[in-house]
Amino acid sequence: MGHAPPLVLEGDHLAVVVLPEHGARIHRIRAFDIDLLRTPDDPAAHAADPFFWGAYVMAPWCNRITPGPVQIAGRTIDLVPNFPDGTAIHGLVAARAWELGGDGALRVVGEGDGWPWTFEVSLSATIEAQTLTLAYALTNRSDEPMPAGLGLHPWFRRPLELRVPAGRVYPANSCSPAIPEPAHDAFDLRSTGTPQPGLDATFAAVEPPVVELAWPGAGIRATLEAATSGGLLVAVATPPDIAAVAVEPQTHGPDGLRRLLQGEPDALRMLEPGTAMELKLRLTVERDGAYR
């Protein structure tokens, strides 16, 4: 398999560009001639700053893990920090080149970098009419069970209205509490509105249709549906210095390795050799009724 050129998908008023060379990240989602993602003018910006553009895959873990050596399942994880807060964040494949397989799916094999298991991540992307479907799979290619987590990290452009129907929340992704709290105040996103700046939280007990988004100034609405073979949570970040909101469906809570080691809820899941964890996302866009 050789490195693949950009993958361009088109539907009814919907166009998507995926960059295999930059972590199979979604460089652009354009609906009704409007960019919905924080998309750089130059795709090379993804390599220079891989965590703050487009939409990228998080695997074999999401969110933050405390770096340094730790024993689990008879092996030593020894991750190095890759984020200014000193954590190991968002997995190992967001910046690696992926390859195109004979079945049309994009794939990458991960190993090393302090992670003592070999794994594979795949993506199958399709558009039908006004719906983008993304089918991700994380497969343990080692001969022993592996801690596993899988997610997608999109940066949706502001101004944005958001609804996350979740009754519980981890209000901080750094030093997160062991148990999620009832959703409250700025951490209650069950009604559509503009999320408060400065959030960096993960929402649990999420109900269908998972996430609703709206760009009132553009007259566009979208629904993000998610299904996993494990748990489902949604992280939301609203940094005040970035004109975008991160809305991240994922299979575990913040500091998922700590949760696994300490028996806390929403932990990384132990994935048996040769088995896969799946995450399927469906983003459907439509014109807001007021703009028809």
Per-position DSSP letters for 3-67, written without gaps between them: BPPPEEEE-SSEEEEEEGGGTTEEEEEEETTEE-B---SSTTHHHHSTTSSSEEEEBS--SEE--
Strands 25-31 and 7-10: unpaired
| Higher local confidence (pLDDT), 2 or 96 | 96
Domain boundaries, the chain: 7-291
Mean pLDDT, range 136-147, rounded to an integer: 98
What pLDDT score was predicted for residue 1? 46
Mean pLDDT, range 212-234, rounded to an integer: 95
Mean pLDDT, range 118-146, rounded to an integer: 98
Residue 193 DSSP code = B
Asked whether 194 and 251 are in contact (CB, 8 A), the reply is no
- Look at the block and give the residue holding tokens 């028996």: 263
Residue 91 DSSP code = B
> What percentage of the chain reaches a pLDDT higher than 90?
91
Residue whose C-alpha is closest to residue 61's, from 230, 251, 210: 251
Say if residue 2's pLDDT is above 80: no
Asked whether 192 and 211 are in contact (CB, 8 A), the reply is no
Model confidence at 3, pLDDT cuts 50, 70, 90, reads: low
Tokens of 38: 């924080």
DSSP H helices in 117-264: 256-262
7-291 has CATH 3.40.50.720 classification: no
pTM score, whole prediction:
0.96
Model confidence at 289, pLDDT cuts 50, 70, 90, reads: confident
Asked whether 123 and 211 are in contact (CB, 8 A), the reply is no
Model confidence at 190, pLDDT cuts 50, 70, 90, reads: very high
Three-state SS for 217?
coil
Phi-psi region of 104 (alpha: psi -120 to 50; beta: other; left: phi over 0): left
Residues 6+ apart with CB under 8 A from 137: 121, 122, 150, 276, 277, 278, 279
Model confidence at 230, pLDDT cuts 50, 70, 90, reads: confident
